[in-house]
């Protein structure tokens, strides 16, 4: 029995995919992720939505593909721009493709040894996430940053090590400029 093909239209303004599973990540879901804990506690009183994901997912089977949009809202915790939690794939060798649709931001990637890369993203940018690299997106602009991700259906998400240690770099607003700097809390 063949699966049925389908097409869906992404709303390029809002990032919404009709019929997709919606996941909401609020600031309260991200305790411990931001460097400035005082700023985190202060902003927690409002508990803003940091990002939403609209995912069309298949059963976890080798060879099949999932896709999802992410709507990453503008904002900062202290100097640090809003970001997604970030993860390795549970099957660590699974690669991924991102395609930026709206807004401005970038991707932080990192090997298990802590070697980091920053790839700036604007509408039209495609990012190749190689096997084994953790990945986190960051909104460095003033409007929602919207992008599409396409990934193997059996990739899964491994949040553990990023939740504990973060990335070796952080992305901050330094007097109106986007700066990629060493994470003061990073240790290998």
Which residues make Cβ contacts (< 8 Å) with residue 59, sequence separation at least 6? 153
| Segment near ligand 6PG (CB under 6 A); pick from 40-48, 84-92, 101-109, 167-175 | 84-92
Q: Taking the mean position of all CA atoms in its chain, how far away is CA 181?
A: 18
Residue 154 within binding range of ligand 6PG, rule CB under 6 A: no
Helix (H) or strand (E) holding 37: helix 37-44
Residue from 27, 40, 84, 116 binding ligand 6PG (CB under 6 A): 84
Output 70 or 139, the one with its CB closest to ligand 6PG. Answer: 70
Q: Find which of ligand 6PG, Ni ion, none residue 70 binds, CB within 5 to 8 Å per kind.
A: ligand 6PG
Among candidates 13, 85, 11, which has minimal Cα distance to 50? Answer: 85
Query: Is residue 70 within 8 Å of residue 14, measured between CB atoms?
Result: no
Helix (H) or strand (E) holding 24: strand 21-26
Among candidates 87, 109, 92, 100, which has minimal Cα distance to 149? Answer: 100
Residue from 43, 53, 116, 171 binding ligand 6PG (CB under 6 A): 53
| Segment near Ni ion (CB under 5 A); pick from 5-13, 53-61, 91-99, 177-185 | 91-99
CB of 131 to ligand 6PG, least distance (A): 13
The token pair at 71 is 């709507």
Residue 68 within binding range of ligand 6PG, rule CB under 6 A: yes
Residues forming the site for Ni ion (CB under 5 A): 96
Residues forming the site for ligand 6PG (CB under 6 A): 53, 68, 70, 84-87, 96, 135, 137, 149, 151, 155, 157
């Amino acid at each position: 029995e063949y699966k049925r093909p389908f097409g869906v239209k992404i709303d390029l303004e809002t990032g919404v995919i009709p019929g997709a599973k919606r996941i909401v990540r609020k600031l309260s879901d991200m305790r411990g992720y931001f460097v400035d804990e005082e700023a985190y506690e202060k902003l927690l009183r409002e508990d803003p939505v940091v990002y939403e994901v609209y995912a069309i997912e298949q059963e976890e089977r080798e060879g099949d593909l999932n896709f999802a949009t992410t709507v990453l809202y503008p904002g900062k915790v202290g100097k640090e721009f809003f970001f997604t939690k970030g993860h390795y794939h549970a099957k660590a060798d699974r690669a991924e493709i991102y395609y930026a649709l709206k807004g401005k931001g970038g991707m932080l990637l990192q090997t298990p040894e802590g070697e980091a890369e920053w790839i700036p993203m604007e509408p039209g940018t495609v990012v190749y996430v190689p096997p084994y690299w953790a990945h986190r997106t960051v909104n460095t602009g003033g409007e929602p940053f919207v992008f599409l991700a396409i990934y193997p259906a059996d990739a899964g998400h491994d949040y553990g090590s990023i939740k504990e240690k973060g990335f070796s770099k952080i992305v901050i607003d330094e007097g109106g400029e986007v700066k990629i700097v060493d994470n003061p809390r990073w240790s290998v």
